[in-house]
């Protein structure tokens, strides 16, 4: 079923950094910037493990990579322009998703 404006409670809401994301898409880590940059990223980890995520916030220089160890459901507190790497720490699998307005 396609999008229905009649069912949307907020069809004309103004997107802000604090507003809920409207779209979510998988991200493949790599050396290129995302197009478009994300509002935030969320990491999903299955199998009880944790993940190590390396990313560059939107306004950081290329050399200012942030690396964090995260659990399932972790959401970044910044917009993201590049996801450099994602790896599992322990067991399980991990995926990273971009959140967009």
Residue range 69-92, pLDDT digits in tens: 999 999 999 999 999 999 999 889
Q: Is the model more confident about 16 or about 100?
A: 100
- The greatest distance separating any two alpha carbons of the chain, rounded to the nearest whole angstrom, comes to 46
How confident is the model over 18-60, as pLDDT tens digits? Answer: 788 889 999 999 999 999 999 999 999 999 889 999 999 999 9
CB 88 within 8 A of CB 46: no
**Residue 1 pLDDT class (50, 70, 90 cuts):** confident
- Please name the helix (run of DSSP H) or strand (run of DSSP E) that holds residue 26, with its range, or none: strand 23-27
């Amino acid at each position: 079923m396609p999008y229905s404006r009649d069912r949307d409670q907020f069809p004309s809401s103004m997107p802000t950094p604090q507003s809920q994301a409207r779209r979510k898409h998988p991200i493949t880590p790599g050396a290129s910037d995302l197009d478009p940059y994300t509002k935030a990223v969320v990491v999903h980890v299955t199998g009880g493990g944790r993940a190590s995520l390396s990313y560059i916030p939107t306004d950081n220089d290329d050399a200012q990579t942030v690396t964090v160890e995260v659990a399932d459901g972790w959401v970044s507190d910044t917009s993201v322009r590049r996801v450099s790497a994602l790896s599992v720490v322990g067991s399980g699998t991990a995926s990273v998703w971009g959140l967009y307005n």
